[in-house]
């Protein structure tokens, strides 16, 4: 069974190569092998591979840069999922696609459900939402997993940035009024593999196609997340100039960025847990595992 994986070079794509390996022949495509911004090239590459499953882990994730590079973000995040859905449908293949909490405005005082109104506040969020919709229009046999604050041992992410800055500076200032659930790339990869395995075993009747929220459980702020990372690093003997007590809280207004971030990135994952019979572990477990790999 040919499982085509896009975005293989990213932190999620790396973990998916591991998680999907027992399920079939994984054709892992990085950007050099398959540029999602090139719709015609994407079609040609996918047709050549004759996919039985397509897993799309590729995305334009430079949130701030997207504000001034909307055409590239649109091509990768909004249009490419529709192309992927189109080719998958032609081969009778389902699609697993990953999306984001940025489709919401972040103003609710509770975790967001799949049925809540979407109102992205950035180019990144808007293009990711458009990608969900273009995929759904092209191929009803799909799963979309919205997640948040992805972290892995490879690639760029918040935890690795905090470790780097703490090695360079004696104090750090981190936003404390944005909350969410740091979610490890390994967890997301394992969840995706579970969905595909269930489909392989039960067929379309057991596929439970659709949109789901999937993050680690619990929540924290970027400020407390930074303190957790540095505390774990100190406990592991990592030499740092700044420790957890040297992290100071600031507001979003004190750290302006080109793109607006949701103040509340919490996602209600009860539908996912109920549908697939899984328990989503606390965010500290995934982050701790990532940090052990890094440290």
Tell me the H-state helices in the chain.
11-20, 39-49, 70-73, 80-90, 123-138, 158-168, 185-202, 222-235, 270-276, 283-294
Q: Which residues does 38 contact at the CB level (< 8 Å), separation at least 6?
A: none
Q: Which of 60, 102, 124, 212 is catalytic?
A: 124
Alpha carbon separation from 117 to 38, 108, 114 (Å, rounded): 31, 10, 8
HSE-up of 71 (CA within 13 Å, CB side)?
1
Measure the CA–CA gap between 198 and 176, rounded to whole angstroms: 39
CB 160 within 8 A of CB 294: yes
Q: Give the torsion through C-alpha atoms of 168, 172, 176, 182, to 10 deg.
A: 20
Measure the CA–CA gap between 245 and 172, rounded to whole angstroms: 10
CB 174 within 8 A of CB 250: yes
Q: Which residues does 37 contact at the CB level (< 8 Å), separation at least 6?
A: 72, 75, 76, 80
Is 102 tagged catalytic? no
Report DSSP state, residue 260: P
Q: Which residues are catalytic?
A: 124
């Amino acid at each position: 069974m040919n499982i085509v994986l896009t975005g293989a070079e990213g932190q999620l794509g790396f973990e998916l190569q591991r998680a999907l390996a027992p399920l079939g022949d994984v054709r892992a495509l990085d950007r050099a092998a398959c540029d999602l911004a090139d719709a015609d090239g994407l079609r040609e590459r996918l047709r050549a591979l004759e996919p039985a499953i397509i897993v799309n882990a590729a995305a334009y994730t430079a949130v701030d840069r997207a504000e001034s590079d909307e055409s590239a973000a649109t091509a990768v995040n909004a249009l490419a999922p529709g192309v992927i859905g189109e080719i998958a449908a032609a081969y009778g293949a389902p699609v697993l696609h990953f999306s984001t909490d940025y489709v919401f405005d972040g103003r609710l005082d509770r975790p967001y459900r799949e049925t809540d109104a979407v109102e992205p506040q950035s180019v990144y969020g808007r293009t990711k939402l458009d990608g969900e919709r273009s995929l759904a229009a092209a191929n009803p046999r799909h799963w979309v997993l919205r997640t948040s604050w992805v972290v892995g041992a490879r690639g760029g992410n918040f935890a690795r940035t905090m470790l780097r800055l703490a090695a360079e500076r004696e104090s750090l200032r981190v936003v404390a009024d944005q909350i969410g659930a740091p979610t490890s790339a390994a967890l997301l990869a394992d969840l995706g593999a579970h969905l595909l395995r269930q489909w392989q075993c039960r067929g379309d009747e057991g596929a439970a196609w659709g949109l789901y929220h999937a993050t680690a459980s619990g929540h924290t702020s970027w400020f407390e997340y930074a303190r957790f990372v540095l505390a774990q690093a100190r406990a592991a003997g990592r030499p740092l100039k700044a420790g957890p007590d040297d992290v100071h809280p600031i507001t979003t207004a004190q750290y302006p960025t080109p793109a607006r971030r949701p103040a509340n990135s919490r996602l209600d994952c009860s539908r996912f847990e109920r549908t697939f019979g899984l328990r989503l572990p606390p965010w500290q477990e995934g982050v701790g595992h990532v940090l052990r790999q890094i440290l």
